[in-house]
Amino acid sequence: MSAPLLLRTPPPYEDESLAGYLIRLAQSNYYSSPNWILRLAGLQVSKGITLWAQPPIPSPLSQLIKLTDEHLKLMASLPHQLGKEVNPVRYIIYKYARKLCPNCLLESAYCRKIWDWKLVGVCCLHQCLLITSCAGCQKNIRWARATVTRCRCGFDFRNQSSESASLEQINLSLYLSKLGNYISTNQLESGIVVKENVHSTLS
């Protein structure tokens, strides 16, 4: 029996997280939850996903979503995990795509990989704290949701306001972004008001 295929596989963004991409895929294919994508690939959410850059044969997940295993591993890896070419990444998917910047989502509705980094609590592009709970139902944001931009209660995260971040927090986030090459200096300078001293972090 051949592996199942998804009807729609929009290409991932360069800085998109794997957890967030699976939500977007579920959304594009009219599934009620990204759990379905994992089930089709024979994976269990609770056990996490073991990602190898080069398994002997393409993994069912990579075949299903039409990306190479190397690409999957890259989408799942944070900077400190890269470079471990031999070791697989154990990816506990439900722990990710739970921190969001409402302003980034307004600009483009996908989950940025940098939000999945534990150390990152701030969006340095919008200089605000990332949100971790929903203003509609007050519950923590969860990975298993039907769309990237909406909570399970139906509230649209793009309508949620976020608190301003301190200069120290922005600088740390900028430093980490640069470390992970998640943003370019051009992106930072395009129409975004950067607070005093922030530029010095980039130089």
Angstrom distance (rounded) from CA 178 to CA 156? 30
Element housing 123 (H / E): strand 122-123
Among all chains, which residue has been given the structure tokens 């399970």? 152
Rounded to a whole number of angstroms, the CA Rg of the chain reads 17
113 lines the binding site for Zn ion (CB under 5 A):
no
Smaller CB separation from Zn ion, 78 or 125: 125
Instruction: Give the nearer residue to Zn ion in terms of CB position, either 72 or 101.
Output: 101
Which of these, 84, 98, 77, 202, lies nearest to 151 by C-alpha position? 98
Q: Does 49 bind Zn ion (CB under 5 A)?
A: no
Asked if 134 is part of the footprint of Zn ion (rule: CB under 5 A), the reply reads yes
Is 93 a binder of Zn ion (CB under 5 A)?
Answer: no
| 101 lies in the binding site for Zn ion (CB under 5 A) | yes
Among 93, 104, 165, 176, the residue binding Zn ion under the rule CB under 5 A is: 104
Determine, following the binding rule CB under 5 A, whether residue 103 of this chain makes contact with Zn ion. yes
Among 5, 82, 119, 153, binds Zn ion (CB under 5 A): 153
Q: Which residue has the tokens 């009620």?
A: 32
Give the number of other CB atoms < 10 A from CB of residue 143: 20
Sole window of 58-66, 67-75, 88-96, 99-107 interacting with Zn ion (rule: CB under 5 A): 99-107
- Verify binding: residue 192, Zn ion, rule CB under 5 A: no
Angle at 54 between CA 51 and CA 57, to 5 degrees: 95
Which of 13, 36, 52, 155 binds Zn ion (CB under 5 A)? It is: 155
174 is an interface residue for Zn ion by CB under 5 A = no
Tokens for 96, please give them: 């990710």
